[in-house]
Structures are given as C-alpha cells and as structure tokens.
Amino acid sequence: MLTRCQITVREALNTALDEEMSADPSVFLMGEEVGEYQGAYKISKGLLDKYGPDRVLDTPITEAGFTGIGVGAAYHGLRPIVEFMTFNFSMQAIDHIINSAAKSNYMSAGQISVPIVFRGPNGAAAGVGAQHSQCYAAWYAHVPGLKVLAPYSAEDARGLLKAAIRDPDPVVFLENELLYGESFPVSAEVLDSSFCLPIGKAKIERQGKDVTITAFSKMVGYALQAADILAKEGISAEVINLRSIRPLDRATINASVRKTNRLVTVEEGFPQHGIGAEICMSVVEDSFEYLDAPVERIAGADVPMPYAANLERMAVPQVDDIVRAAKRACYRAAVPMAATA
C-alpha cells in the first residue's frame, strides 16, 4: 500500500530543482533574487548555500541580458533554468525566447540543441494590475520549437519541472503564484528522485460521463470544485488537467468528448486565439459528430486586468461560471433541436 503525504507546490518545485542540480552539474539557475534572497517566492530556498554562486546566479534587473546569456549557455551544452519574477517580465526577453531559443534547432538542421527552461509565475495574481496579470500560455504555445507546460498540483510541479530540465528543447514552464502555498497529497513514487512526468500527456483528474471540462494551472482546482457542485445536481463531469499546453494531448481530450458528448474549456487568459479555441478546433476536426451540444468556452474577460478587487474577480473565471456552462451544455443536449429552434 502506497503511503501519501502532503507537500506544497513551492516544496515540489524546490526539491525538483535541487535533485536535478545534484544529478547533473550542467544544470544551473539564474534570475533576479534567486540566490541571496532565496527566490522572490522562495522556490530556490537553500540552493545557493548548497551549490554556490557559480550555479545559482543573482542577476541584475535586465531580463533581456540574462535570458540571452542563458540561451547562449544552452548553445554550448549547459542546461540553464531562467527564472522570471513574473512571466509578464519575459516580454523584455521575448526575442531571445522565440527567435533564438525556439528556432535554432530547426535553423541549424538539428545541429544546435537548446536545453533551457524559462520558468516563473504566470497569469493573474491578486491586486497587481493589468501589466502583471496576463496568462502567456497561448502566447508561447503559438510558437513551434517551444514546449509549454502549466502544472496544477505538487505532483505536476515536481514531475513536469524534472521533465523540462531534462528535455533537449526549450521549455516554457508556467507556474501560478497563488498555487505556491497550496498543499497536495503525493505518493512515495512522486517523492522518489527518479520521478518524472511525460511532456504532452494530460491527466484525467476526475472521471465523468456527462460533460468534459478541460483546464490547466489554477483553473483545474476551479473545475474540480465545479464538478463537485454538478454532481450534487446529477451531472457527472469529467475533469482533464491539461498539464502540457504544447504539445497538447489531443487524444485524451477527444477520447473524453467521444464519451461525454459535451465540452467546456476553461482558461484564465483572453478568449480570442486562446487555448480553448485550439481545443475546440481539435474536437471539431476529430470528434465533431460526437458532440451533442455546442462547445462552451470559459475564459478571462477580453479587457486588461482591472486593479479594483471587485472588477478583478469579474475579469477571471469563477467556479459558478463553469457550473453554468456545464449545465447549458447538458441542457441543450437533453432538449431536441427542434424545440430550441
């Protein structure tokens, strides 16, 4: 019988960094306040003392500079982990991420590998305004050559970060600031230093038969709460934790939709050209004839994030939004189309 314990997402990320740095001397961490301050969110706590300033590098506040150094180091066989204090600041370094890291393997005909991880908090936090509250999942998932991961639980954070560090290609690793302190149960297998999750594979967090709900990062928790509410009203929701945004696990999504015949997509980011739109198109292409109702898409409001707390809440998806969308999908499927015309 497997024993289980509780660890936070913060601890999961910290132990993953520690174990991968211990296992491979080519792995190093760089970014603002990752060393002496032990990380703005304490993800790198204890690493400077253990590995020294040559492998845990405090940088100036210049994302373009230290990201470019990281990409150059990856060209030469090292495995840098570049921490952004928030992914909003990655805008300062986007040329290095997209034009250098993402494209070099293709443009060199496979001669140059770029094993680098860009990681940090992504999406809405609380009370930090429009310039610090964007979700970059769709931005980076648009780019061939990048892999984009978005963990939800401690298991996700630990297993996916290890996979990202070991991967030969550049990986954008989107964490969520509001999840860092949340605790999740993990098994002894997850805590083993050899544990690693496959990139490109989603996880069915909850089995269901009436409606499929896809989500990633913090929205997985909201989807699970919505599923609990729906269950009390006789609706069985299947919740898929995407984990990997690029590559996207289309097979798992389509298999679920073929079973439930209904789909609700959930994301924090802007709706236009978003992850939900891509999932919807995948289902239209592969499983359209299985749909008994239109796809419901839940996303952030199509406006810059407001600063006021009441408006901020209205701008990001809530559990009630997911419940209502799932009910709409199930109700429309239950009513003959002639009756709704």
Which active-site residues does the annotation give? Answer: 63, 132
Write down the residue that tokens 């590995």 correspond to.
Answer: 51
Q: What is the three-state SS of 130-175?
A: HHHCCCCHHHHHCCCCCEEECCCCHHHHHHHHHHHHHCCCCEEEEE
d(CA 126, CA 123): 10
Structure tokens at 23: 């296992």
- What is the longest distance spanned by two Cα atoms in the chain? 70
Strands (DSSP E) contained in the chain are 4-8, 27-31, 56-58, 79-83, 117-121, 147-149, 171-175, 183-187, 203-206, 211-215, 237-241, 244-246, 263-266, 296-298
Counting beta carbons within 10 angstroms of the beta carbon of residue 321, is it exposed (0 to 12), middle (13 to 18) or buried (19 or more)? middle
Please check whether residue 296 is in contact with residue 261, taking contact to mean a CB–CB distance below 8 angstroms: no
Report the run of H or E that residue 221 belongs to, with start and end: helix 218-232
User: Could you give phi then psi for residue 182, rounded to 5 degrees?
Assistant: -80, 140
Structure tokens at 64: 């373009």
Q: DSSP label at 78? A: -
- The sheet with strand 27-31 has its strands ordered as 56-58, 27-31, 79-83, 117-121, 171-175, 147-149, 244-246
Report the run of H or E that residue 326 belongs to, with start and end: helix 319-334
Q: DSSP label at 31? A: E
